Amino acid sequence: MSFYDHIQEEDPDIFSALEGEDKREAEGLELIPSENYVSRAVKEAMASSLTNKYAEGYPGKRYYGGQEFTDKVETLAIERAKTLFGAEYANVQPLGGANANIAMYMALLQPGDTVLGMDLSHGGHLTHGHPVTYLTKIFNFVRYGMKDVETGEIDYDEMRRVAKEVRPKIVLAGFSAYPRELDYAKFVDIAREVGAIAVMDTAHIAGLVAGKAVKNPFDYGFDVMTTTTHKTLRGPRGGMILTRESEDLAKRIDKAVFPGFQGGPHMHQIAAKAVSFREALHPSFKAYAKQIIANTHAMEKVFIEHGARLITGGSDNHLILLDASKSFGISGGEAESLLDRAGITLNKNVIADDTRKPMDPSGIRFGTSAITTRGFREEESAEVAKIMIEVLTKRGDATVAESLTKIRTLALAHPIPESFL
């Protein structure tokens, strides 16, 4: 039986699009670092009857009746999240990572307060204070970056100097395109020195933290963590806010999420989060998280041996940021398009001190979370990197067609697991 039997009958146009997307994902390789495959159990929760239910408030404190089962689901999600990340409190209602960050700012700041966050071009995120966001009309964002783009070393001395000067209310760590592990102790030291709250946006590496493949920011004294629940965590698209030990911070965050920023929580999404958290608590998830990093290193090695320029010189996590302009003489947009035709999906990305425009920058960003879900190990990951180099070097239609055949062969040999279909 198809997962879409009823859609096929009721809405053939949407059915056609869904079938097309399934085919695209099955026959190609997803390398976008913020994407992954979710299990069938997660999909079933997202499609459950909980999509019918309004549940404003929190477990035991709802504004509508009929909450026996919604309370059970949300409580399970909260307890599993706390166990996964070593937190004392968890809010699982944010609809996405950006929502989680915005609610966090609303909980911890007053209009005009200052946040010290990573510059977007150095690996940060739009919600960390990029001028195009509405957040910058409310709060004052001051940015820090790398001291050495070739090694990825953050300029912590400059961070400390700036923090003493601007006295931020939040010192914000975290990133969307930074391949190295941060020195969490230095972030917390700087925050404590200026009386700021230490916040980590763990969105990209949440699964690696949960799988104990990288360090847990809470172990170094961070007060708050925000995260998405997809990406490396392999859950539904959504967000979450965790606090280490302060009950006061937890209460402020709860009020900021609801009623401050969002209305009724999406209970089907929260059920799917709970399912994915249970999956991440299984011992096999630790092996998965470890393999993600091993696969990244395998790809990294191939590109370095080819002489490609990797921003920060390599990776400590699931993603690689490559300067396509200097490595292959083409823009990031051209590289994305070529590789898309060859069955490899990744994204163009700005790099530090980029001279090109954001819609056609110098870099490309790619990672190993999704191919690791498919069972890829180091040998296959290295093969993907070699195919990418061939496409980006030769560029001709014949090379693209030949590479597409190779990628489909790899995809066929490592299909998306049946439990994820």
pLDDT tens per residue across span 21-37: 999 999 999 999 999 99
Query: What CATH number corresponds to the domain at position 372?
Result: 3.90.1150.10
Given 70, 226, 227, 228, which residue is catalytic? 228
What mean pLDDT is reported for the chain? 97
Residue whose C-alpha is closest to residue 173's, from 218, 216, 116: 116
Cβ pair 116, 109 in contact under 8 A: no
333-351 pLDDT, tens per residue? Answer: 999 999 999 999 999 999 9
* Residue 400 to residues 23, 343, 354, 406, 410, Cα–Cα distance (Å): 19, 9, 27, 10, 15
Instruction: Specify the pLDDT at position 293.
Output: 98
Task: Decide if 37 is catalytic.
Answer: no
355 and 308, same structural domain?
yes
**Residue range(s) defining the domain that contains residue 65:** 44-280
pLDDT digits (tens, 9 = 90+) for 83-126: 999 999 999 999 999 999 999 999 999 999 999 999 989 999 99
For residues 195 and 49, membership in a common domain is answered with yes
In a domain, 20, yes or no: no
- Catalytic residue from among 40, 82, 147, 237: 237
pLDDT digits (tens, 9 = 90+) for 47-69: 999 999 999 999 999 999 999 99
* Residue 201 bears catalytic tag: yes
Q: Are residues 256 and 333 in the same domain?
A: no
Do 265 and 288 share a domain, yes or no?
no
Same domain flag for 264 and 301? no
- Beta carbons within 8 Å of 318's beta carbon, 6+ residues apart: 33, 204, 205, 208, 232, 292, 293, 296, 367, 368, 369
Q: Same domain, yes or no, for 268 and 302?
A: no
Q: Using one digit for the tens of pLDDT, what is the confidence trace for 366-416?
A: 999 999 999 999 999 999 999 999 999 999 999 999 999 999 999 999 999
259, 280, 301 - which closes a domain = 280
User: Within a domain: residue 222?
Assistant: yes
Pseudo-torsion of CA 217, 222, 223, 228, nearest 10°? -30
The burial class, CB within 10 Å (0-12 / 13-18 / 19+), for 166 is middle
Beta bridge partners of 367: 319
Active-site residue 148, yes or no?
no
Domain CATH code at residue 238: 3.40.640.10
Question: Among 25, 201, 223, 300, which one carries the catalytic annotation?
Answer: 201
| pLDDT, position 1 | 45
Residue 54 among the catalytic residues = yes
Catalytic residue among 35, 44, 56, 155: 56
Phi-psi region of 66 (alpha: psi -120 to 50; beta: other; left: phi over 0): left
Integer distance in angstroms from the first to the last C-alpha of the chain? 12
Rg for the chain (alpha carbons), in Å?
22
- For residue 12, tell me if it sits in a domain: no
Q: Are residues 91 and 209 in the same domain?
A: yes
Boundary (domain end) residue, out of 222, 245, 280: 280
Q: Three-state SS for 171?
A: strand
Q: Which residue is catalytic, options 169, 180, 231, 309?
A: 231
Section 125-136 average pLDDT? 91
Confirm if 205 and 214 have CB atoms less than 8 A apart.
yes
Q: What is the number of domains present in the chain?
A: 2
> Considering the domain boundaries, does residue 387 fall inside one?
yes
Confidence class for position 3, pLDDT limits 50, 70, 90: confident
Q: Is 237 a catalytic residue?
A: yes
Q: Do the domain assignments include residue 174?
A: yes
395 is catalytic: no
How do residues 205-222 score in pLDDT, each as one tens digit? 999 999 999 999 999 999
Domain match, 154 and 223 both: yes
Among 280, 295, 325, give the residue marking a domain's end. 280
Would you say residue 101 lies in a domain? yes
Looking at the structure, tell me whether residues 265 and 323 fall in a common domain: no
Per residue in 138-189, pLDDT (tens digit) is 999 999 999 999 999 999 999 999 999 999 999 999 999 999 999 999 999 9
CA 34/CA 319 separation, integer angstroms: 9
Q: Is residue 4 situated within a structural domain?
A: no
Do 141 and 83 sit in the same domain of this protein? yes
pLDDT reading at 130 higher than 90:
no
pTM: 0.96
Pick the catalytic residue: 19, 22, 44, 54?
A: 54
Do 253 and 147 fall within a single domain? Answer: yes
Q: Is 11 inside a domain boundary? A: no
Token pair of 247, please? 């009950």
Residues 100 and 153 in one domain: yes
Condensed to tens digits (0 to 9), the pLDDT of residues 273-286 reads: 999 999 999 999 99
- 173 beta partners: 200
